Protein backbone atom coordinates (compact mmCIF):
# COMPACT_ATOMS: atom_id res chain seq x y z
CA UNK A 1 0.00 0.00 0.00
CA UNK A 2 1.37 3.43 -0.92
CA UNK A 3 2.13 5.64 2.07
CA UNK A 4 0.97 9.23 1.83
CA UNK A 5 2.84 11.93 3.73
CA UNK A 6 0.64 14.78 4.91
CA UNK A 7 2.24 18.21 4.59
CA UNK A 8 1.94 20.82 7.27
CA UNK A 9 -0.58 23.36 6.07
CA UNK A 10 0.85 25.73 3.49
CA UNK A 11 4.34 24.20 3.54
CA UNK A 12 6.08 22.77 0.48
CA UNK A 13 7.59 19.34 1.04
CA UNK A 14 11.07 19.16 -0.50
CA UNK A 15 12.89 15.83 -0.83
CA UNK A 16 16.68 15.70 -0.97
CA UNK A 17 19.36 13.05 -0.65
CA UNK A 18 21.13 12.93 2.68
CA UNK A 19 20.45 13.90 6.27
CA UNK A 20 19.24 17.21 7.69
CA UNK A 21 21.98 19.79 7.21
CA UNK A 22 23.02 18.46 3.81
CA UNK A 23 24.07 20.93 1.15
CA UNK A 24 20.93 19.93 -0.76
CA UNK A 25 18.81 21.20 2.12
CA UNK A 26 20.64 24.55 1.90
CA UNK A 27 19.84 24.62 -1.82
CA UNK A 28 16.16 23.94 -1.07
CA UNK A 29 16.09 26.81 1.42
CA UNK A 30 17.74 29.12 -1.10
CA UNK A 31 15.06 28.33 -3.71
CA UNK A 32 11.92 27.90 -1.60
CA UNK A 33 12.61 30.22 1.31
CA UNK A 34 12.68 29.17 4.98
CA UNK A 35 9.12 27.87 5.26
CA UNK A 36 9.51 24.53 3.50
CA UNK A 37 9.24 21.05 5.02
CA UNK A 38 12.50 19.07 4.54
CA UNK A 39 12.15 15.39 3.61
CA UNK A 40 15.62 13.77 3.72
CA UNK A 41 16.04 10.59 1.67
CA UNK A 42 18.78 7.97 1.78
CA UNK A 43 19.35 7.53 -1.97
CA UNK A 44 18.85 9.63 -5.10
CA UNK A 45 16.27 7.07 -6.33
CA UNK A 46 14.27 7.53 -3.12
CA UNK A 47 14.21 11.29 -3.67
CA UNK A 48 12.75 10.97 -7.17
CA UNK A 49 10.29 8.27 -6.09
CA UNK A 50 9.02 10.42 -3.21
CA UNK A 51 7.99 13.12 -5.69
CA UNK A 52 6.39 10.64 -8.10
CA UNK A 53 4.34 9.10 -5.26
CA UNK A 54 3.24 12.50 -4.01
CA UNK A 55 5.00 12.18 -0.64
CA UNK A 56 7.06 15.23 -1.63
CA UNK A 57 6.06 18.24 -3.72
CA UNK A 58 9.51 18.67 -5.24
CA UNK A 59 13.03 17.27 -5.19
CA UNK A 60 16.29 19.21 -5.00
CA UNK A 61 18.65 17.35 -7.32
CA UNK A 62 22.42 17.95 -7.58
CA UNK A 63 23.45 17.69 -11.23
CA UNK A 64 26.99 19.05 -11.41
CA UNK A 65 29.87 20.36 -9.36
CA UNK A 66 32.60 22.70 -10.61
CA UNK A 67 35.32 20.40 -9.25
CA UNK A 68 33.85 16.89 -9.39
CA UNK A 69 31.86 17.25 -12.64
CA UNK A 70 28.40 15.92 -13.43
CA UNK A 71 26.32 13.65 -11.17
CA UNK A 72 25.65 11.02 -13.83
CA UNK A 73 23.23 8.98 -11.71
CA UNK A 74 20.85 11.93 -11.60
CA UNK A 75 21.04 12.52 -15.35
CA UNK A 76 19.85 8.93 -15.82
CA UNK A 77 17.05 9.50 -13.28
CA UNK A 78 15.91 12.59 -15.18
CA UNK A 79 15.07 10.36 -18.13
CA UNK A 80 13.42 7.55 -16.18
CA UNK A 81 11.02 9.83 -14.23
CA UNK A 82 8.29 12.12 -15.55
CA UNK A 83 9.24 15.23 -13.62
CA UNK A 84 9.59 18.87 -14.66
CA UNK A 85 12.45 21.22 -13.81
CA UNK A 86 10.98 24.32 -12.18
CA UNK A 87 14.21 26.03 -11.15
CA UNK A 88 17.92 25.77 -10.51
CA UNK A 89 20.17 26.73 -7.61
CA UNK A 90 23.92 27.30 -7.63
CA UNK A 91 25.37 26.85 -4.15
CA UNK A 92 28.86 27.70 -2.94
CA UNK A 93 30.15 24.59 -1.15
CA UNK A 94 32.20 25.34 1.97
CA UNK A 95 33.47 22.30 3.88
CA UNK A 96 34.13 22.15 7.61
CA UNK A 97 35.77 19.65 9.93
CA UNK A 98 33.08 18.87 12.53
CA UNK A 99 33.24 16.83 15.74
CA UNK A 100 31.16 16.15 18.85
CA UNK A 101 31.45 18.73 21.61
CA UNK A 102 34.65 18.34 23.60
CA UNK A 103 36.68 16.64 20.85
CA UNK A 104 39.99 18.33 20.02
CA UNK A 105 41.81 18.37 16.71
CA UNK A 106 44.78 16.51 18.20
CA UNK A 107 42.44 13.72 19.41
CA UNK A 108 41.36 12.68 15.93
CA UNK A 109 42.06 9.27 14.46
CA UNK A 110 39.20 8.99 11.91
CA UNK A 111 37.53 11.46 9.57
CA UNK A 112 34.32 10.53 7.70
CA UNK A 113 32.55 12.11 4.73
CA UNK A 114 31.16 11.54 1.26
CA UNK A 115 33.96 10.51 -1.18
CA UNK A 116 33.47 13.69 -3.25
CA UNK A 117 33.83 15.89 -0.16
CA UNK A 118 36.94 13.98 0.90
CA UNK A 119 38.45 14.51 -2.56
CA UNK A 120 37.64 18.22 -2.40
CA UNK A 121 39.52 18.51 0.92
CA UNK A 122 42.63 16.53 -0.08
CA UNK A 123 45.10 19.33 0.63
CA UNK A 124 43.79 19.91 4.15
CA UNK A 125 43.64 16.19 4.93
CA UNK A 126 47.20 15.69 3.69
CA UNK A 127 48.46 18.41 6.04
CA UNK A 128 46.37 16.97 8.88
CA UNK A 129 47.99 13.58 8.30
CA UNK A 130 51.39 15.20 8.68
CA UNK A 131 50.33 16.17 12.21
CA UNK A 132 48.48 12.88 12.87
CA UNK A 133 50.20 10.09 10.85
CA UNK A 134 47.71 7.47 12.06
CA UNK A 135 44.68 9.45 10.80
CA UNK A 136 42.23 7.29 8.82
CA UNK A 137 39.99 8.88 6.15
CA UNK A 138 36.75 6.90 5.74
CA UNK A 139 34.07 7.30 3.02
CA UNK A 140 30.44 7.75 4.09
CA UNK A 141 27.18 7.91 2.13
CA UNK A 142 26.51 11.57 2.96
CA UNK A 143 28.29 14.59 4.42
CA UNK A 144 25.62 15.49 6.97
CA UNK A 145 25.05 11.78 7.61
CA UNK A 146 28.69 11.50 8.60
CA UNK A 147 28.18 14.23 11.22
CA UNK A 148 25.10 12.46 12.55
CA UNK A 149 27.09 9.23 12.83
CA UNK A 150 30.09 10.64 14.72
CA UNK A 151 27.81 12.50 17.14
CA UNK A 152 25.79 9.34 17.75
CA UNK A 153 28.99 7.30 18.23
CA UNK A 154 30.13 9.81 20.86
CA UNK A 155 33.81 8.92 20.47
CA UNK A 156 36.58 11.37 21.30
CA UNK A 157 38.62 10.53 18.17
CA UNK A 158 36.14 10.91 15.26
CA UNK A 159 35.11 13.85 13.07
CA UNK A 160 33.28 14.46 9.81
CA UNK A 161 33.47 16.88 6.90
CA UNK A 162 30.22 18.67 6.09
CA UNK A 163 28.39 22.00 6.00
CA UNK A 164 28.04 24.51 8.81
CA UNK A 165 24.32 23.67 8.86
CA UNK A 166 25.09 20.03 9.67
CA UNK A 167 27.07 21.13 12.75
CA UNK A 168 24.07 23.18 13.87
CA UNK A 169 21.52 20.41 13.23
CA UNK A 170 23.46 17.79 15.21
CA UNK A 171 24.78 20.12 17.95
CA UNK A 172 28.41 19.50 17.04
CA UNK A 173 31.26 22.00 16.82
CA UNK A 174 33.52 23.09 13.99
CA UNK A 175 37.22 22.28 14.45
CA UNK A 176 38.27 23.91 11.17
CA UNK A 177 36.27 25.84 8.57
CA UNK A 178 36.78 26.46 4.85
CA UNK A 179 38.94 23.36 4.40
CA UNK A 180 38.12 22.76 0.73
CA UNK A 181 41.19 22.74 -1.54
CA UNK A 182 39.69 25.12 -4.08
CA UNK A 183 37.38 27.99 -3.12
CA UNK A 184 35.74 27.89 -6.57
CA UNK A 185 33.61 24.97 -5.42
CA UNK A 186 29.99 25.28 -6.53
CA UNK A 187 27.23 22.72 -6.97
CA UNK A 188 24.31 23.22 -9.32
CA UNK A 189 20.91 21.77 -8.41
CA UNK A 190 17.66 21.29 -10.30
CA UNK A 191 14.39 21.73 -8.42
CA UNK A 192 11.95 19.21 -9.89
CA UNK A 193 8.23 18.52 -9.47
CA UNK A 194 5.45 16.45 -10.96
CA UNK A 195 3.79 18.38 -13.80
CA UNK A 196 0.49 18.46 -11.88
CA UNK A 197 2.17 19.90 -8.75
CA UNK A 198 4.17 22.73 -10.34
CA UNK A 199 1.55 25.42 -9.71
CA UNK A 200 1.48 24.88 -5.92
CA UNK A 201 5.20 25.52 -5.40
CA UNK A 202 6.11 29.15 -4.62
CA UNK A 203 9.47 30.22 -6.01
CA UNK A 204 11.63 32.53 -3.90
CA UNK A 205 13.91 33.32 -6.86
CA UNK A 206 13.24 36.67 -8.56
CA UNK A 207 15.50 35.98 -11.55
CA UNK A 208 14.12 37.24 -14.85
CA UNK A 209 16.48 35.34 -17.17
CA UNK A 210 15.27 31.88 -18.15
CA UNK A 211 16.99 28.61 -19.02
CA UNK A 212 15.80 25.40 -20.65
CA UNK A 213 17.06 21.83 -20.29
CA UNK A 214 16.37 18.92 -22.64
CA UNK A 215 17.68 15.58 -23.86
CA UNK A 216 17.82 14.38 -27.48
CA UNK A 217 18.91 11.32 -29.40
CA UNK A 218 20.38 11.23 -32.87
CA UNK A 219 21.14 8.54 -35.40
CA UNK A 220 24.78 7.47 -35.59
CA UNK A 221 25.61 9.01 -38.94
CA UNK A 222 28.13 11.65 -40.05
CA UNK A 223 27.06 15.21 -39.34
CA UNK A 224 24.00 14.43 -37.22
CA UNK A 225 25.34 16.06 -34.04
CA UNK A 226 26.53 19.10 -36.00
CA UNK A 227 23.10 19.49 -37.59
CA UNK A 228 21.42 19.24 -34.19
CA UNK A 229 23.61 21.88 -32.54
CA UNK A 230 23.71 24.19 -35.56
CA UNK A 231 20.00 24.83 -35.02
CA UNK A 232 20.91 26.74 -31.85
CA UNK A 233 23.84 28.61 -33.37
CA UNK A 234 21.67 29.76 -36.27
CA UNK A 235 19.15 31.25 -33.84
CA UNK A 236 21.84 32.72 -31.56
CA UNK A 237 20.74 30.63 -28.58
CA UNK A 238 23.46 30.48 -25.93
CA UNK A 239 24.27 26.86 -25.02
CA UNK A 240 25.57 26.57 -21.45
CA UNK A 241 26.11 22.80 -21.13
CA UNK A 242 26.17 19.62 -23.21
CA UNK A 243 26.55 16.16 -21.70
CA UNK A 244 26.47 12.76 -23.39
CA UNK A 245 25.26 9.49 -21.87
CA UNK A 246 25.26 6.01 -23.44
CA UNK A 247 21.89 4.63 -24.55
CA UNK A 248 21.22 1.33 -22.76
CA UNK A 249 20.86 -1.51 -25.27
CA UNK A 250 22.40 0.50 -28.12
CA UNK A 251 26.20 0.16 -27.80
CA UNK A 252 28.22 3.23 -28.86
CA UNK A 253 25.11 5.37 -29.27
CA UNK A 254 24.38 8.32 -27.02
CA UNK A 255 21.77 10.69 -25.64
CA UNK A 256 22.79 14.35 -25.38
CA UNK A 257 21.67 16.57 -22.50
CA UNK A 258 21.55 20.25 -23.33
CA UNK A 259 21.09 23.42 -21.27
CA UNK A 260 20.67 26.83 -22.87
CA UNK A 261 19.66 30.37 -22.02
CA UNK A 262 16.10 31.13 -23.09
CA UNK A 263 12.53 29.96 -22.62
CA UNK A 264 10.92 27.28 -24.78
CA UNK A 265 8.27 29.86 -25.77
CA UNK A 266 10.75 32.46 -27.06
CA UNK A 267 10.46 32.86 -30.82
CA UNK A 268 14.11 32.05 -31.60
CA UNK A 269 14.06 29.10 -29.20
CA UNK A 270 10.91 27.71 -30.82
CA UNK A 271 12.64 27.85 -34.21
CA UNK A 272 15.76 26.17 -32.84
CA UNK A 273 13.70 23.42 -31.22
CA UNK A 274 11.77 22.83 -34.43
CA UNK A 275 15.05 22.45 -36.32
CA UNK A 276 16.39 20.11 -33.64
CA UNK A 277 13.25 17.97 -33.87
CA UNK A 278 13.86 17.63 -37.61
CA UNK A 279 17.47 16.51 -37.10
CA UNK A 280 17.08 14.25 -34.04
CA UNK A 281 15.39 10.91 -33.43
CA UNK A 282 13.71 12.22 -30.30
CA UNK A 283 13.63 15.34 -28.13
CA UNK A 284 12.35 15.65 -24.56
CA UNK A 285 12.21 19.03 -22.83
CA UNK A 286 12.62 18.77 -19.05
CA UNK A 287 11.51 22.35 -18.46
CA UNK A 288 12.10 26.08 -18.78
CA UNK A 289 12.88 27.76 -15.46
CA UNK A 290 14.44 30.83 -13.79
CA UNK A 291 18.21 30.96 -14.17
CA UNK A 292 20.01 30.57 -10.85
CA UNK A 293 21.11 33.67 -9.02
CA UNK A 294 24.81 33.48 -8.17
Query: Could you give the CA distance from residue 83 to residue 78 in angstroms, rounded to a whole number?
Result: 7
Residue of 36, 189, 190, 232 marked active site: 189
**Inter-residue contact 289 to 254 (CB < 8 Å):** no
The residue from 36, 84, 143, 187 that is catalytic is 187
Q: Mind giving me the DSSP string for 18-78?
A: SSTT-HHHHHHHHHH-TT-EEEEESSHHHHHHHHHHTS-SEEEEEEEETTTEE-HHHHHHH
> Which residues does residue 254 pair with via DSSP β-bridges, in sequence order?
246
Residue 189 a catalytic site member: yes
CA atoms within 13 A on the CB side of 123: 8
Sequence-separated (6 or more) residues with CB below 8 Å from residue 139:
112, 113, 114, 115, 118
| Cβ–Cβ under 8 Å, residues 110 and 153 | no
Which is nearest to 14 in space by CA: 52, 57, 78?
57
Tell me whether residue 70 is exposed, middle or buried, using C-beta atoms within 10 angstroms of its C-beta: 0 to 12, 13 to 18, 19 or more: middle
Q: Which helix (H) or strand (E) holds 278?
A: helix 267-279
Q: Is 23 a known active-site residue?
A: no
The residues carrying an active-site annotation are 187, 189
Amino acid sequence: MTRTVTAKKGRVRAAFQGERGAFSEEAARRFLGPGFEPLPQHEFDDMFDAVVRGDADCAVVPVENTLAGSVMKNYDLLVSHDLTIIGEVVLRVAHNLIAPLGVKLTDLRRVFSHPVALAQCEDYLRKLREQIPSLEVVPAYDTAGAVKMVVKNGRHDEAAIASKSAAEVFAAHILASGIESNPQNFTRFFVMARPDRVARIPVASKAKERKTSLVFRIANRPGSLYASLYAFAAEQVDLTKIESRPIVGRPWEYSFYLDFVGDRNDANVRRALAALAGAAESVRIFGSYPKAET
